[in-house]
Structure formats: C-alpha cells, structure tokens
Structure 1
C-alpha cells in the first residue's frame, strides 16, 4: 500500500515536469510544492461548492503526503523522522476531516504546517549538495 502512495504522488508531480532532471532533494521539493498547490486548489473548490473537484484535490494531497512519509529515512535521524512521520499522518487526517466537514480552515491549517517544512527543506539544499560534492 505504501508503494501506491509514492507512485501516485510521483505521477502527479511528474506531470509538472522537472522530475527527470531532479535529484532526490529536488524530488521531495517537487512533492511538497505539489501538495501545497493541491491545498490551494482544494480550498478554492470547497469555497465554490465543487464537491468532486475538492475531493480529488484533497485525495491527491493525501497521496503526496503518503509519498513524503514513504521517503523518510529513519537511519538519518530517528527522532526527527518519527516526528515528521507523525506530522504527515496528522496532516492527512486533518485533510480527511476537512473534506468530510467542508472546513476550509483545516486545509489552511495543513498548509500552514507544510509550508515551513518545505521552506526549511529548500534551505538545506545547498548544504546537501556541498556534502555530496565533498564525498
């Protein structure tokens, strides 16, 4: 089942281009960007009363969060990885609630949780590249 999440998330991001040339760090960035984009779309669909499109956007975002969970490397930092895993799980559950309750504030909550993670992830890219070049 975990493979399905990652494959679905990858397929969604692949359609945006850049996957073929992205390194693993870049792929995670693309996944986070895709999730944030789906959150914006889900909220807009919700506010317009477009139930099916809202559900589709939320489902895609949950799949991407599953892909992010699948990509976690427990050997890197078990405590941090455990916290991120729990946070991604929490975000997925909040999105399910947002869909069921038609509650845009829950979508905003998830966006407000994911955006700083994405921003921090982007900031470590140069350090990761330098380490790889030095190895």
Structure 2
C-alpha cells in the first residue's frame, strides 16, 4: 500500500499548491469522472455505487455554486445552469435515467473545456518575471 500513500500525498500536494483557477479545473475534472462512473454503475445495475458517485458529482456542483461571485454578471448567468445540472443529477439518481447523466456530462465537459481555455489564455498574458 506504500505506492497508494505516495499517490495520495502527491494528490494532496497538487491541491494545496494549485491556484484558484487550477482548483476549479480539478473540480470540473472530478465531476466528469464521477458522472462517468455513475453511468457505468447505472449500466451495471450497481445502484449503491451509482448513488455514491452522483452524490459526489452533486457536491462538486455545490462547491462550484458556492465559489461563484454574486457581484459578477457572468456568475448570475452560470448559477441557473449549475442549479439545473444539480437538479438533473437528482432526477438521474431517482429515475435511473442515463440520458440525464449524459446531459449533465455534456454540460460539465463544456464548462471544463471553456475553463481550460481561459486558464491557457490567462497564462499566456501573465507578465514575464525578471530574475534581476
């Protein structure tokens, strides 16, 4: 189990040293992962794991909602989408309708990919630091 502990330490360090933007990207990636797992669980009729993975995805959506700045206009536009995704995950969990998971998965992937582009552009426009 030593390699597992080393990986966990690496993951913890990655989270602790990440910027706010990188943390948001990690949240999107985690949400995608849990939705994919829930879809697989649903296909395999593993309802306990499906429930667990959907709840993990919902907690990530809640975290994304909490981190939105209500004073920013874009946040006011994103909040209803996050709310819709959260409710759709609930519906997927109660109805075992995989199409609902697929729909939320598409939204999250779109958010993640857009966020990744924002981070890349921001990194490109950072002022260069001098060493002297």
Q: Same fold (TM over 0.5)?
A: yes
* Partner Cα separation in structure 2 for residue 37 and residue 16 of structure 1: 19
Is residue 46 of structure 2 the alignment partner of residue 50 of structure 1? yes
Q: CA deviation at 1:128?
A: 2.7
CA change 1:98–1:70 in 2 (3 A) is same
Flag the structure with larger Rg: 2
Q: What's the secondary structure of 1:57's corresponding residue?
A: helix
2:57 pairs, out of 56, 61, 69, with 61
**Structure 1 outlier segments of 4+, above 6 Å:** none
Query: Any unmatched runs of 5+ in structure 2?
Result: 1-7
Task: Note the alpha carbon deviations across 1:35-94, whole angstroms, 9 max, x for none.
Answer: 00000000000110011100000000000000001111233x32x211211101100100
- CA RMSD in angstroms comes to 1.9
2:94 pairs, out of 83, 100, 103, with 100
TM-score, structure 1 normalization: 0.81
Match of 1:19 in 2: 15
Map 1:1-135 to 2 at 5 A: 17=11, 18-75=14-71, 77-78=72-73, 80-129=74-123, 133=127
Aligned residues: 119
Query: Any unmatched runs of 5+ in structure 1?
Result: 1-13
Q: What's the secondary structure of 1:124's corresponding residue?
A: helix
Q: CA deviation at 1:133?
A: 4.0
